[in-house]
């Protein structure tokens, strides 16, 4: 295999796929390196069409195995299961450290396509409120870009991946290029009507999702199975496999190397440029070198930081592109909680058929417009109404034919509102390399220090209070509520560590995602984020990646770095 390329893309997940697509379509010969095994679209989705009785543990999985080997990944009980367990990293085989007194649950997908196979598919644009937040309240560094810089790239991404959603005209959540929205369920319609009549500044809308509601290219519309994380042979949601990888492969310019970890990015102190990467095979332990004129870091927030921290040299003793000393710092993840769950009354004659792979949202309404709170920034709600199913049979009194008859039909309607609060950028929330613990490749393990602060706690307290009020205002009986944040990492929206900024002394990348110190090194995954907003970040990662790749190729064509 060749060892010389125009560009190396480290990682094959949501941003890695986008980098590969954008760079190959602009004529570059690209090597994409993935640490996990290959998973090919359709042919490798081995459990996609299986019923529970075709699985060894009826779809619930081997709980003891999970305790031994998937002790972090299996905490995501809504997502992780027997059908898709191979799409999550084995925690035992891939250890990391958590700094004393802190906790960060690191959810990972170590396979071709990365977490794009198992992501939540929610797609939201950021607004100027978000890009201006750091500057407005003085926390973190100012973003050197604003919405206008990214808007055409949001268009570009949405047109390619397909995003279903409704146009709402909200400043806080700009509209995009939407496919038809999915319909709300009866109980959601009832709660929406009540919320919007009581609170003129609030909206409850269907999620904006990369589950497509019309044909997009050769990808079929969503079949309402909710089997997405098993892999979707219909290509009905965006994943590397369904979307960007076929596009990149169609150019004939892409080489994919799987089962290979990038140990470090190499750097020439004379030119000041990255020259390529050193790798180690996860199975054969084979060490290789690959060279390129451009290196794009898309290994996922924490691994991108780790690779750069490992890339030490005389010029960069504390990690590549780290002259500022901030590399690894300002790690963020949305503070999530089960804000409230309530019984919805008056719609027991209504139901649904099939599985909608989408949720409702209530966009942020705090600290915007005329609203002012004691805490900074805001939160959004995501949730859904559903009828209790047969599972209630194990949670209520009753035996025999009477119980069986009762479980023939749906149970009560419940409405869940989960909160996602913006995470403030804090220097002490940090990724470092552990001094002694090594992984199976012999590389230093990552150590993560992470805590939520007073601002996140205050936002979640307000979210609980408002969720209760909104449900009660809709006539619901509130069953439970909480402001207790889930452990850090639980939102799987980890971002930061190589933040974007104007000032090379305070940030790692510039407005086009070039490392300030190493101009042919791009960092376009979640690592580049300077703030977290409160909406799901993947669409923004994709737009930043497409924009950065376009600018990089333009520079290369002009014979600049």
Partner 1 sequence: MSSAIPRRDLLRFSALGGVLLAGGGVAYRLVGRRDPVSPAFIARLCDMVLPATDTPGAVGAGVPAFLPIAFQHGLFGGNADTLGLLRDALDQWSAGGDFSHAGPAEQLQILSTLDRETFSRPRAQRSQTSAAADGAGAGAMDGFVLWRVVKDAIVSSYYTSQIGGERELGFQLIAGPDYRADVAVGEVRYLSNYWVENVF
Residue placing its CB nearer to partner 1 in the complex, 247 or 415: 415
Residue placing its CB nearer to partner 1 in the complex, 5 or 381: 381
Alpha-carbon distance of 512 to 43, in angstroms, equals 37
Contacts of 274 (CB under 8 A, 6+ apart): 265, 266, 267, 268, 292, 294, 295, 320, 518, 520, 521
Query: Binding to partner 1 by residue 101, rule CB under 8 A?
Result: no
Quick note: the x/- pattern for partner 1 over 408-437, rule CB under 8 A, is xxx---xxx-x-------------------
Residue 348: CB minimum distance to partner 1, A: 7
Quick note: the x/- pattern for partner 1 over 160-199, rule CB under 8 A, is ----------------------xxxxx--x----------
Alpha-carbon distance of 101 to 428, in angstroms, equals 13
Residue placing its CB nearer to partner 1 in the complex, 309 or 471: 471
Residue 196: CB minimum distance to partner 1, A: 17
The tokens describing 520, both together, are 């042919």
Residue 1: CB minimum distance to partner 1, A: 40
Alpha-carbon distance of 339 to 417, in angstroms, equals 6
Residue 173: CB minimum distance to partner 1, A: 21
The tokens describing 315, both together, are 């010029």
Alpha-carbon distance of 445 to 447, in angstroms, equals 6
From candidates 403, 427, 437, 438, binder to partner 1 by CB under 8 A? 403
Q: Which long-range contacts (CB under 8 A, 24 or more apart) does 81-84 make?
A: 82/47, 82/55, 82/56, 82/57, 82/58, 83/47, 83/48, 83/50, 83/55, 83/59, 83/227, 83/229, 83/230, 84/47, 84/117, 84/118, 84/229, 84/230
Size of the site for partner 1 (CB under 8 A): 80
Residue 120: CB minimum distance to partner 1, A: 11
Query: Binding to partner 1 by residue 484, rule CB under 8 A?
Result: yes
Alpha-carbon distance of 475 to 194, in angstroms, equals 9
From candidates 477, 480, 505, 554, binder to partner 1 by CB under 8 A? 480
Query: Binding to partner 1 by residue 218, rule CB under 8 A?
Result: no
The tokens describing 171, both together, are 């400043």
Q: Which of residues 102-161 bind partner 1 (CB under 8 A)?
A: 105
Residue 112: CB minimum distance to partner 1, A: 25
Q: Which of residues 512-551 bind partner 1 (CB under 8 A)?
A: none
Whose CA is closest to 247, among 315, 169, 156, 115?
156
From candidates 4, 40, 58, 554, binder to partner 1 by CB under 8 A? 58
Residue 55: CB minimum distance to partner 1, A: 8
Tally of CB atoms within 10 A around 552: 29
Query: Binding to partner 1 by residue 406, rule CB under 8 A?
Result: no
Q: Which of residues 289-348 bind partner 1 (CB under 8 A)?
A: 336-338, 341, 348
Alpha-carbon distance of 276 to 266, in angstroms, equals 5
> How would you classify residue 302: left for phi > 0, otherwise alpha for psi between -120 and 50, otherwise beta?
alpha
Is residue 114 within 8 A of residue 14, CB to CB? The reply is: yes
Residue placing its CB nearer to partner 1 in the complex, 199 or 224: 224
Residue 63: CB minimum distance to partner 1, A: 3
């Amino acid at each position: 295999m060749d060892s010389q390329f125009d560009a190396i893309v480290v990682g094959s997940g949501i941003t890695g796929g986008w980098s590969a697509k954008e760079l190959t379509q602009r004529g570059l010969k690209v090597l994409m390196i993935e640490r996990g095994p290959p998973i090919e679209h359709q042919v490798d989705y081995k459990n996609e069409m299986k019923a529970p009785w075709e699985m060894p543990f009826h779809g619930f999985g081997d709980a003891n195995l999970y305790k031994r080997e998937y002790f972090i990944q299996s905490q995501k009980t809504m997502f992780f299961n027997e059908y898709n367990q191979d799409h999550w990293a084995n925690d035992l085989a891939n250890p990391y450290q958590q700094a004393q007194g802190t906790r960060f649950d690191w959810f990972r997908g170590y396979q071709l396509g990365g977490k794009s196979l198992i992501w939540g598919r929610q797609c939201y644009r950021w607004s100027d409120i978000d890009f201006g937040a750091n500057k407005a309240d003085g926390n973190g560094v100012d973003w050197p870009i604003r919405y206008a810089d990214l808007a055409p790239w949001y268009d570009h991404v949405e047109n390619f991946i397909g995003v279903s959603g409704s146009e709402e005209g909200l400043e806080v959540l700009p509209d995009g290029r939407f496919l038809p929205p999915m319909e709300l369920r009866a109980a959601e319609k009832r709660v929406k009507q009540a919320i919007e009549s009581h609170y003129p500044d609030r909206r409850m809308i269907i999620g904006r999702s990369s589950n497509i509601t019309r044909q997009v290219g050769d990808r079929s519309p969503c079949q309402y199975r909710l089997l997405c994380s098993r892999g979707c042979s219909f290509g009905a949601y965006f994943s590397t496999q369904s979307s960007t990888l076929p596009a990149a492969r169609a150019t004939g310019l892409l080489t994919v190397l799987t089962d290979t970890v990038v140990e470090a990015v190499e750097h020439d102190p004379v030119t000041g440029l990255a020259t390529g990467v050193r790798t180690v095979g996860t199975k054969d332990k084979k060490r290789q070198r690959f060279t390129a004129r451009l290196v794009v870091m898309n290994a996922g927030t924490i691994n991108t930081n780790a690779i750069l921290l490992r890339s030490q040299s005389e010029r960069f003793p504390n990690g590549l592109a780290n002259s500022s000393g901030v590399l690894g710092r300002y790690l963020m993840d949305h503070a999530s909680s089960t804000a409230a769950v309530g019984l919805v009354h008056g719609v027991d004659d209504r139901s649904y058929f099939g599985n909608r792979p989408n949720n409702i949202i209530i966009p942020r309404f705090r600290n915007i417009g005329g609203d002012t709170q004691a805490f900074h920034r805001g939160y959004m709600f995501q949730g859904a109404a559903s009828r209790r199913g047969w599972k209630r049979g194990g949670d209520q009194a009753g035996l025999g034919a009477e119980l069986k008859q009762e479980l023939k039909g749906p149970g009560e309607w419940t409405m869940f509102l989960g909160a996602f609060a913006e995470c403030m950028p804090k220097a002490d929330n940090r990724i470092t390399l552990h001094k002694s613990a090594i992984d199976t490749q012999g590389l230093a393990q990552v150590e993560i220090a992470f805590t939520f602060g007073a601002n996140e706690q205050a936002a979640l307290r307000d979210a609980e209070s408002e969720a209760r009020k909104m449900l009660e205002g809709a006539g619901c009986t509130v069953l439970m509520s909480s402001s207790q944040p889930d452990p850090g990492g639980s939102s799987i929206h980890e971002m930061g560590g190589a933040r974007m900024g104007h000032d090379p002394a305070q940030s790692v990348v510039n407005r086009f995602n070039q490392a300030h110190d190493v101009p042919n090194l791009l960092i376009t995954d979640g690592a580049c984020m300077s703030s977290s907003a409160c909406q799901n970040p993947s669409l923004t990662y994709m737009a930043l990646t497409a924009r950065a790749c376009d600018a990089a190729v333009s520079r290369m064509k002009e014979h600049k770095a």
